A and B are shown apart, each in its own frame.
Chain A
Amino acid sequence: MSELQRFTLPGGMNLFVHRTNKFKTVLAQLVFHRALRREEVTATALFPAVLQRGSAGFPTRRLLAYRLEELYGSELAAEVVKKGERLLVSFSMELVNDRYLPGENGLLGRCLEILSEVVARPLSEGGAFKAEYVSQEKEQHEKVIRGLVNDKAAYAMERCLQEMCAAEPFGVFKYGTLSELAKLEPENLYGFYRRFLAESPVDLHVCGEVDAAAVKELAGRIFSFPRSGTAEIPATLVRKQDGEVRYVREEMDVNQGKLVLGFRTGIKYGDDNYFPLLMYNGILGGFPHSKLFLNVREKASLAYYAYSRLEKHKGLMVISSGIETGNYDKALEIINRQVECIAAGEVSEEEFANTWQGLRNQFLMEDDHQGLVVNRAIDGELAGLHKDTDGLLAGLAAVQPDDVVRVAREVKLDTVYFLAGKGGGAA
């Protein structure tokens, strides 16, 4: 298990050092937090791409790439993640731990300097980003927004959540919209970025075989960009479903239909009912032994995949399956029946025990993956649930079968979305 130490750096940045000796690499992840707002999301998703095009010290993408390769193929990546109604912008650096490199030392410091350089010292001209980089990255970003449709399962999932949360911030697509993108220019994007950098709460996570005091010293010295105040991030709204179920059908020229069911659980990460909900989701559709896999795939041969998963910060659950368009009624009926079964208390001892074992296994395996170690800490911070693996296992072990049935009754179907093949059967 990794050992976590937290610090606050002079500029107000939170530092989390996850010390563990099992990895050959060090992962450094700089995470900015921002409220998920329709009017800001496009700029938030775009500027990290512009930053990676060039900084004061590495004015082209090519120079930056060359330098990272020179540092034994260190990898710099930026990512935008939606956690509830909060947008996280992460810049991560993965590097070889120089303990494995004969004759090398100080690699972490050099990589953190590049990370800080890219994030805080962009190539700018007269209070604006370099115009050429902005126009090129706008073109690339337009492709990202339009490209959602290329992965049909991801598209159907996103569309279901958009329909379901149309009136809530959560319904915003994390990459934004083409109309907002068109309004972004080198000046206004730079102005937004400067405010974002100064105001957004920021954490640095470092995971690997490192010395916490040394990391603290390095980070304090390197990440010294000016910060002012802290932007407010409203709590995520967790609603219960009280109205009628909505049915949305969209047609496309596809070979396989995609069925997505969106549910409101009313339970978020950190709530007392979270562990029972986790067990509930596992019994329903988290594993190959779960009700959905057994009944939709193994018994009825209707699908290759059928699963459920939680959006734990927003209190949602989604079910997803790829089916023949003409089998919509049959598949929906079988899926609904599985959901009703659990609420009616039909959970066998074996299903319960297998799910508990499976989740326990997942928690333990997270310790073996640097990205997951960091992600767990981020989730824990957001929810105020500061638990290590043993703490999570204890939470899981306390769940009783009655608890699962109790939360099953809280889980309500909100929206049924179907991406249907053209000319397919009746819905």
Chain B
Amino acid sequence: MKGVQENSLLQEKIIWQRVEPGLEVFVLPKQGYNKKYVTYSANFGSIDSHFIVEGEGGELVVPDGVAHFLEHKLFEEEGGNVFERFARLGASSNAFTNFNNTSYLFSCTDHFTECLEILLDFVQSPYFTKESVEKEKGIIEQEIRMYEDNPQWRVFFNLLTALYREHPVKKDIAGTVESIRQIDEHVLYKCYRTFYHPSNMAVFVVGDVEPERVFTQVSENIVRRGYSRLGEIRRIYPAEPKMPARDCVVQELVVSQPILNLGFKEEEVGFDGERLFRREAATGLVLDCVLGSSSRLYNELYEDGLIDDEFEAGHVAEKDYGHTLLGGETKDPDRLYQRLMEGIRQAQAEGISAEIFAHHRRKLMGEFLKSFNSLEFIANNFPAYHFKGINFFNYLETVHSLTLEEVNKRLRTHFTDSNHARSIIQPKKEK
């Protein structure tokens, strides 16, 4: 199966092909760029710690932080590490794990074919030994410690623990120092065999390359490994109540001023695809209209010194969970919380006008065009949406199909008194 998607506004096209047994390969040619950027992603993130694979025995529960640990260890191979092989070609490689996916990537200017081969090879060649797994624990422990001192990271995760009672999205992506101690080579192999099957993965290539040559190369690499079909993966998530677990979580850290994060939990989950994308786009538009830098609320809060220009508002839409987050540093987190709630209620009562709606759609069009300068933006986002059954390329079409009524309905229903929670970081008092 293959195809081409064109976007006349972006003046870009994506050529795609499915390589058996089920690996989706996408190429977005960028003429004139020196850089080539490739992601090879698995639909496996920190929330996938409980699952069952059809035909492979019973349910499996793995320690928190396995997806991230696996990401670190795939770079190791017998007698060396993968960084060295990329380095010889002048390429740089990296990887990241989030709640839902793990992506391996490289960027290069020369030797593209050799680099792509290394990427395909190393992600498909796990090599875990008892010693190497033990040695990695010290490195990941320092990564966890680094985040423990990062106030923005802490305020965010504390909010997730307030919003969610059961769902694993409330847990740190890297796990904890304690949970990673339980990880061994056996559990890594088990997760690897399940989630790194081609049918659970995607390759995205962006740069000045020849798409047909990419498809041929990927196909030859996959075919020679003789994969058998993988049974369906069923991810098991605990039943999550609609209401947040707690109203507010407070932590003290060495910071110059408090930080507030305010979150609104999605009450209706369990679907993906176009319907989810549409709701995500509508929420983004609502946030822009109500809390964007030209909104009345934002400017009043700024003038009163309750927020600074790093104040952010964003929405996350996944199949099994979703939330909207607002916040930033503030001199008075209680006052800011109160003012945000009042401002949102006022916006709900007034509604978004047709003029403001059209104004922000135009702005989003410009922003989306701008983001296509970045090869990383394209290749990091596209696969994540693809795994949710969404074509990220169609974002503007989706935005343009939204109606004012739909956006106002979203404004009225998503922000309620009962679905929100807060997280606050307070400056630690010197003892």
Contacts and interface: CB of A to CB of B under 8 A. Distances in A.
A23 B12 CA distance: 12
Contacts of B9: 100, 102
B107 A365 contact: yes
B431 to A, nearest CB: 9
A322 B145 contact: yes
B372 A288 contact: no
Interface in A39-73: 60-62, 65-66, 69-73
Nearest to B293: A65
A144 B41 CA distance: 38
B362 interface: yes
A5 interface: no
A25 B87 contact: no
A61 to B, nearest CB: 6
Contacts of A360: 90, 109
A66 B299 CA distance: 11
A358 B34 contact: no
Contacts, number: 175
Contacts of A248: none
A66 B34 CA distance: 36
A256 B255 contact: no
B34 A61 contact: no
A23 B88 CA distance: 30
Contact of B142 (A72, A149, A324): A324
B256 interface: yes
A188 interface: no
A60 B360 contact: no
Interface string A334-377: 00000000000000001001101110110011011010000000
A254 interface: yes
B373 A143 contact: no
Contacts of B151: 150
A186 to B, nearest CB: 16
Interface stretch (A299-307, A310-318, A380-388): A299-307
A94 B369 CA distance: 12
Contacts of A302: 138, 142
B179 to A, nearest CB: 17
B108 A361 contact: yes
A254 B365 contact: no
Nearest to A299: B135
Given A22-B32, A304-B139, A256 B149 contact: yes
A256 B146 contact: yes
A146 B366 CA distance: 35
Interface residues of A, number: 66
A152 B148 CA distance: 11
A66 B294 contact: yes
A354 B92 contact: no
A152 B149 contact: yes
A69 B256 contact: no
A368 B33 contact: yes
Contacts of B360: 69
B362 to A, nearest CB: 6
A361 B92 contact: yes
A157 interface: no
Contacts of B33: 22, 368
B83 A288 contact: yes
A55 to B, nearest CB: 16
B110 interface: yes
B35 to A, nearest CB: 5
Given A72-B365, A301-B138, A323-B142, A364 B109 contact: yes
Given A254-B254, A361-B92, A65 B294 contact: yes
A96 B369 contact: yes
Contacts of A8: none
A350 B83 CA distance: 13
A73 B149 contact: no
B254 A289 contact: no
A302 B364 CA distance: 44
Interface stretch (B56-64, B302-310, B313-321): B302-310
A5 to B, nearest CB: 19
A194 interface: no
Contacts of A100: 9-11, 369
A287 B299 CA distance: 43
B88 A353 contact: yes
A366 B253 CA distance: 38
Nearest to A306: B142
Contacts of B30: 22
B400 interface: no
A415 interface: no
B88 A322 contact: no
B428 A143 contact: no
Residue among B87, B295, B303, B369 facing the most chain A CB atoms (10 A cut-off):
B87
B133 to A, nearest CB: 12
A354 B138 contact: no
Contacts of B365: 72-73
**Residue with the greatest number of chain A CB neighbours at <10 A, chosen from B135, B146, B295, B362:** B146
Contact of B363 (A73, A140, A356): A73
Contact of B92 (A146, A147, A288): A288
Contacts of B372: 24
A256 B256 CA distance: 18
B2 interface: no
Contacts of B367: 73
B139 A253 contact: no
Contacts of A20: 32
A254 B363 contact: no
B83 A24 contact: no
A24 B148 contact: no
Given A136-B305, A357-B87, A143 B146 contact: no
Nearest to A99: B11
Contacts of B362: 69-70, 72-73
A142 to B, nearest CB: 9
Interface of A: 20-25, 60-62, 65-66, 69-74, 94-96, 100-102, 136, 139-140, 143, 146-152, 252-256, 287-289, 293, 297-298, 301-305, 322-324, 350, 353-354, 356-358, 360-361, 364-365, 367-368, 370
17 contacts: A25-B370, A25-B373, A61-B299, A65-B299, A73-B365, A74-B366, A140-B305, A147-B256, A147-B329, A150-B255, A152-B150, A254-B254, A256-B145, A256-B148, A256-B149, A301-B135, A357-B90
Q: Top 5 nearest A-B pairs by Cβ distance?
A: A72-B366, A357-B90, A301-B138, A73-B366, A289-B87
Given A22-B31, A304-B139, 4 more contacts: A147-B256, A289-B83, A353-B88, A358-B87
